[in-house]
Amino acid sequence: MILANITDGRKTFVLAHAVYCSALGRCACLRALPRGRTRAAVLSLDEGEELRVARAVLSVPAVARAVARGRLRAEEGLR
């Protein structure tokens, strides 16, 4: 799916493990070195930027709200 930021400014979303990784079906968290701790992945989109992302991002409440409010555009398929 393609996710596009159609507003001014950068949009950043934390892809919380309990929500995003569960919907994705695998852990997408980042391993922080040197201690090996894990941190939730983050999705950032600059204004006008489009990214190909997993459909699981729509399970993140902040992303779903941004799409519903017209701040992000989500489209199926590839560009």
C-alpha to C-alpha distance for 79 and 30, rounded to whole angstroms? 27
C-alpha to C-alpha distance for 61 and 79, rounded to whole angstroms? 25
Domain that holds residue 60: 2-75
State yes or no: pLDDT of 79 exceeds 70: no
Instruction: Determine if the peptide bond prior to 61 is cis (ω within 30°).
Output: no
pLDDT digit string (tens) for 1-33? 999 999 999 999 999 999 999 999 999 998 877
Contacts of 46 (CB under 8 A, 6+ apart): 5, 10
Averaged pLDDT, 21-47: 90
Nearest to 13 by CA among 25, 23, 5: 5
Give how many domains the chain has, as a whole number.
Answer: 1
State yes or no: pLDDT of 78 exceeds 60: no
